[in-house]
């Protein structure tokens, strides 16, 4: 592997503009993020049109700043590759990143590679855990995805199971909205859950009795809604921390129980975690306590969307001979398949 190889990574699939400069597979020369959380918070969720406008404002200044931070004065000469998220995600958001990447690739005469966002999340693990060698299982849990993927080798992925409705992070965000706790819901529910009693309410653990690997979060969300409505109607003060703790217990139990099935099914005990919900303290704690499992969890900043993971996945793909061209166009529902 050529460790002097330098990749510019661009991520704009949802509401974070991420730009990174990576040397080789994991040496981070620059890692910048422009988060839109404050812009979308008043609406209780991401407003797609607004998100793409914000990406457009942020992208070029962020590229410029990242190159400066990485000490790159002549990108055409010093960069070797541009990696950009091409899906899945919001069409308008993806378009900004892909258009910017294509314009830069053409201007600097550099190769370009479209990266699957989910593959990026898998590669977030590699930055700090170079020893993570396939085969392993990866639980990808974010605001848009809840799935278990088997990584047979880098570039060779098998989807073992996914959610049939809401993603886990989406359930956190919706429950937080209902409870008036703001957006995004994950961090605040996680915080409040620490001061609540997880056994005070018995919310259903999604798909608990199904032996196959399939997630479903809409029932859990609805159970919380009915519980809260009932208390409000009866004039009972809603014990927010207890609701958060009980919801979190069910939400995390569902993830762990499906991982257990995947481990049993495949015999693979190496388990990696990624996506925004991987920042969840109960999930991290439960996984770390798993006896006989070899667990990998990225640092918090690499759990949520970032440019580093896209650069890392792009670099790896390029080394395997994968490359895109200037006809690259975003695919908002791009499934993670082998390539």
Q: Which of 88, 120, 161, 186 binds ligand KG4 (CB under 6 A)?
A: 186
Question: Of ligand KG4, Zn ion, none, which one does residue 87 interact with (CB within 5 to 8 Å by kind)?
Answer: none
Place of tokens 């667990």: 295
Least separation, in Å, of the C-beta of 248 and ligand KG4?
A: 8
Question: Please, which residue, 220 or 277, has the CB nearer to ligand KG4?
Answer: 277
The helix (run of H) or strand (run of E) holding residue 161 is strand 156-162
Site string for Zn ion, 276-305 (x = CB under 5 A): -----------------------------x
Q: Which stretch binds ligand KG4 (CB under 6 A): 206-214, 255-263, 270-278, 324-332?
A: 270-278
Question: Of Zn ion, ligand KG4, none, which one does residue 312 interact with (CB within 5 to 8 Å by kind)?
Answer: none
Question: Please, which residue, 80 or 162, has the CB nearer to ligand KG4?
Answer: 162
Encoded tokens for 58: 């942020």
Q: Is-contact 144 163, C-beta < 8 A?
A: no
Q: Which of 75, 88, 120, 143 binds ligand KG4 (CB under 6 A)?
A: 143
Q: Is-contact 119 275, C-beta < 8 A?
A: no
Site string for ligand KG4, 221-260 (x = CB under 6 A): ----------------------------------------
Least separation, in Å, of the C-beta of 244 and Zn ion?
A: 23
d(CA 129, CA 101): 28
Question: Please, which residue, 134 or 184, has the CB nearer to ligand KG4?
Answer: 184
Question: Please, which residue, 31 or 190, has the CB nearer to ligand KG4?
Answer: 190
Question: Please, which residue, 142 or 149, has the CB nearer to Zn ion?
Answer: 142
Place of tokens 């896209």: 310
Place of tokens 């661009």: 10
Q: Does 173 help bind ligand KG4 (rule: CB under 6 A)? A: yes
Please, which of residues 104-143 interact with Zn ion by CB under 5 A?
Answer: 142
- Cβ-Cβ contacts under 8 Å for 64 (sequence gap 6 or more): none
Q: Is-contact 272 123, C-beta < 8 A?
A: no
Q: Which of 34, 280, 316, 324 binds ligand KG4 (CB under 6 A)?
A: 280
Question: Please, which residue, 252 or 268, has the CB nearer to ligand KG4?
Answer: 252
Q: Does 242 help bind Zn ion (rule: CB under 5 A)? A: no
Please, which of residues 102-141 interact with ligand KG4 by CB under 6 A?
Answer: none
Q: Is-contact 112 81, C-beta < 8 A?
A: yes
d(CA 122, CA 130): 13
Q: Which of 34, 304, 316, 324 binds ligand KG4 (CB under 6 A)?
A: 304
**How many residues interact with Zn ion (rule CB under 5 A)?**
2
Q: Does 190 help bind ligand KG4 (rule: CB under 6 A)? A: yes
Q: What is the DSSP string of 86-151?
A: EESS-HHHHHHHHHHHHHHHHHHT--EEEEEHHHHHHHGGGTT-TT--SSEEEEEESSS-EEEEEE
Q: Does 184 help bind ligand KG4 (rule: CB under 6 A)? A: yes
Mapped onto helix, strand or coil, the DSSP state of residue 314 is helix
Q: How many residues does the chain have?
A: 339
- Cβ-Cβ contacts under 8 Å for 39 (sequence gap 6 or more): 15, 50, 54
Cis check: omega of the bond before 315, within 30 degrees of 0: no
Question: Please, which residue, 70 or 205, has the CB nearer to ligand KG4?
Answer: 205
Q: Does 142 help bind ligand KG4 (rule: CB under 6 A)? A: yes
Helix/strand/coil (H, E, C) string of 64-83?
Answer: HHHHHHCCCCCHHHHCCEEE
- Positions in the binding site for ligand KG4 (CB under 6 A): 14, 142-144, 169, 172-173, 184-187, 190, 275-277, 279-280, 304-305
- Positions in the binding site for Zn ion (CB under 5 A): 142, 305
């Amino acid at each position: 592997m050529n460790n002097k190889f330098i990749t510019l990574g661009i991520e704009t699939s949802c509401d974070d503009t991420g730009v990174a400069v990576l040397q080789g597979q994991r040496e981070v020369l620059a890692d910048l993020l422009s988060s839109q959380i404050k812009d979308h918070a008043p609406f209780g969720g991401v407003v797609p049109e607004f998100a793409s406008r914000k990406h457009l404002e942020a992208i070029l200044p962020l590229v410029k700043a990242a190159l400066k931070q990485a000490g790159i004065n002549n990108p055409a000469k010093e960069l070797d590759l541009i990696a950009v998220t091409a899906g899945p995600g919001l069409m308008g958001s993806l378009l900004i990143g892909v258009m910017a990447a294509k314009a830069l690739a053409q201007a600097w005469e550099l190769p370009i590679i479209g990266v699957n966002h989910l593959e990026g999340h898998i590669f977030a693990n590699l930055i700090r855990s170079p020893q993570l060698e396939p085969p392993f299982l990866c639980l990808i849990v974010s605001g848009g995805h809840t799935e278990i993927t088997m990584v047979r080798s880098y570039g060779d992925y098998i989807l073992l199971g996914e959610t049939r409705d809401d993603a886990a992070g989406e359930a956190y965000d919706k429950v937080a909205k209902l409870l008036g706790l703001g957006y995004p819901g994950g961090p605040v529910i996680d915080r409040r859950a620490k001061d609540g009693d997880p056994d005070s309410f018995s919310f259903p653990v999604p798909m608990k009795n199904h032996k196959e690997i399939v997630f479903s979060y809409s029932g859990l969300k609805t159970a919380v809604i009915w519980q809260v409505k009932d208390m409000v109607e009866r004039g009972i003060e809603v014990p927010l921390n207890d609701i958060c703790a009980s919801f979190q217990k069910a939400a995390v139990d569902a993830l762990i129980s499906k991982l257990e099935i995947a481990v049993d099914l495949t015999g693979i005990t190496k388990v990696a975690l990624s996506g925004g919900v991987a920042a969840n303290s109960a999930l991290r704690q439960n996984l770390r306590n798993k006896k006989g499992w070899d667990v990998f969890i990225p640092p918090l900043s690499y759990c949520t969307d970032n440019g580093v993971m896209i650069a890392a996945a792009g670099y790896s793909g390029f080394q395997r001979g994968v490359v895109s061209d200037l006809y690259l166009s975003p695919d908002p529902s791009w499934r993670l398949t082998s390539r």
